[in-house]
Amino acid sequence: MTQTPAMPACPTATRLYEGGGVVAEGFGAHEIPRLLGEHPDAVLWLDLFDPDEDDLRAVAAEFQLHPLAVEDAVHDHQRPKLDRYPDHLFMNVYDVRVTTDGPVPEMDKTEISAFITEQALITVRKSASDVSRFVERWDADAELAKHGGVAFLVYGMLDVVVDGHFAAARALDEAMDKTEDTMLDEGGAPRPVRMYGFGLRKALAALRRPVAPMAGLIADVLRLESALVDERLAPYYRDVDDHARRATETIDSARERINGLLEADLNEQSNELNDITRKLAAWAAIIAVPTALTGFFGQNVPYWGYERYSGFLASLILIVISAGGLYLYLKRRGWL
């Protein structure tokens, strides 16, 4: 490594592992060269929160990071991927969370870029997220950390991210269970339920974009030419791969299901509209026959209050009440 006094000024989180245990944590970025020199067999986790280009240049100079990888880490909205460079790997993934208790489901995602070197895992977060979950996952399997090195840190990060993907897919699928019966009611679903269904479909489409590439990304990590995962850790990576595939399958199944529900609801609305149209046509035909006959014979007979102002006023009130009552009835039924 090439030591340099310039270090990132953005918020950081740090940990140093040696022999499966934590030998230092919470230290400043400026202490990294000294600690790595004192512990040549240790591995480092360095987390950078929303760094600018100057921050990443300082890290790139310290760890020999490729300029193209640094550029990808600075710019948002990179696709999930694993790129190989001469001295390191570059990974981009998304940590996702969904909420289903609002008027429509919502998804929040945090883009995480990672530089993977022989002695360090450097994560770059472009928005706020809870990195304590990574730490908890690493601490939960200290025995595996003894022989895993950087690959163990990468495994823990991927395991947390993929578990989040699967949990989000399950949450949307379970939210669909709550709306399915209402959407299949006779006459079609109420508008809020229908809008929630459209929100589910939109959330599933948005979730699939960061989730679907994960199986291929993990397969790339597992390939022998990456020289990252040994036989001890390979089963754990395959377990993460299985969870990633299950998350994608859950999303695809849920998308087919919500599309079917929305189509069934549309068909039910069409059937209800056809029934209403048929009833209105029948009543119009029933009323049209006596109206035509009385009109043909000119049967305008005297009525109560005929040729009097009180009779005109009574008929006007009757017209207003009848028309207003019909308007309120149709408005309550959602026809107006």
CATH number at residue 75: 3.30.460.20
Give the whole-number percent of the chain exceeding pLDDT 90: 45
Give the chain's mean pLDDT: 86
Q: What angle do CA 116, 119, 122 make, to 5 degrees?
A: 40
Residue 285 placed within a domain: no
Domain final residue pick, 222, 249, 267 = 267
183/266 Cα distance (integer angstroms): 10
CB 96 within 8 A of CB 109: yes
Q: Which of 124-133, 166-175, 267-276 has the highest mean pLDDT?
A: 166-175
- Beta partners for residue 115, in sequence order: 90, 122
Number of domains in the chain: 2
Are 126 and 250 in a shared domain? yes
Per-residue model confidence (pLDDT) at position 170? 94
Statement: residue 213 has pLDDT above 90: yes
- Phi then psi for residue 152, to 5 deg, are -65, -40
Mean pLDDT, to the nearest integer, of 135-148? 84
Same domain, 207 and 155: yes
Residue 256 is assigned to a structural domain of this protein: yes
Backbone angles phi, psi at 324, to 5 degrees: -65, -40
Could you tell me if residue 292 is inside a domain?
Answer: no
- Collapse the DSSP code of 117 into the 3-class scheme (helix H, G, I; strand E, B; otherwise coil) and give the result: coil
pLDDT band per the 50, 70, 90 thresholds, residue 332: confident
Residue 310 placed within a domain: yes
| Residue 137 contacts residue 154 (beta carbons within 8 Å) | no
Decide which of 242, 267, 292 is a domain's last residue. Answer: 267
- Residue 59, domain member (yes or no): yes
User: Does pLDDT of 40 surpass 50?
Assistant: yes
Q: How far apart are CA 10 and CA 30, in angstroms?
A: 12
The residues pairing with 124 across neighbouring beta strands, listed in sequence order, are: 48, 113
The pair of three-digit structure tokens given for residue 52, joined into one six-digit string:
């600018």
Domain match, 172 and 233 both:
yes
| Res. 1: pLDDT tops 60 | no
In a domain, 281, yes or no: no
Let me know whether 94 and 199 are in one domain: yes
Looking at the whole model, is its pTM more than 0.85? no
List 14's β-bridge partners, or say none. Answer: 46
Reported confidence tier of residue 102, pLDDT bands at 50, 70, 90: confident
Q: How far is CA 28 from CA 16, 24, 233, in A?
A: 12, 11, 30
My answer on whether 204 and 318 are in the same domain is: no
Largest pairwise CA distance in the chain: 113
Angle between helical axes of 67-74 and 53-63 (0-180°, round to 10): 150
CA dist 103 and 92 (Å) reads: 31
In a domain, 2, yes or no: no
Residue among 100, 276, 256 at smallest CA distance from 186:
276
Task: State the pLDDT at residue 5.
Answer: 45
Residue 330: predicted pLDDT: 76
218 and 315 share a domain? no
Residue holding tokens 């490594």?
Answer: 1
Domain that holds residue 330: 302-336
> 307 and 186 in one domain?
no
Residues 253 and 313 in one domain: no
- Region 28-52 average pLDDT: 91
Among 249, 267, 285, which residue terminates a domain? 267
| Number of helical (H) and strand (E) elements in the chain, helices listed first | 10, 7
Q: In what order do the strands lie in the sheet with 43-49?
A: 21-25, 12-18, 43-49, 120-125, 106-116, 88-99, 81-85
| pLDDT, greater one: 1 or 325 | 325
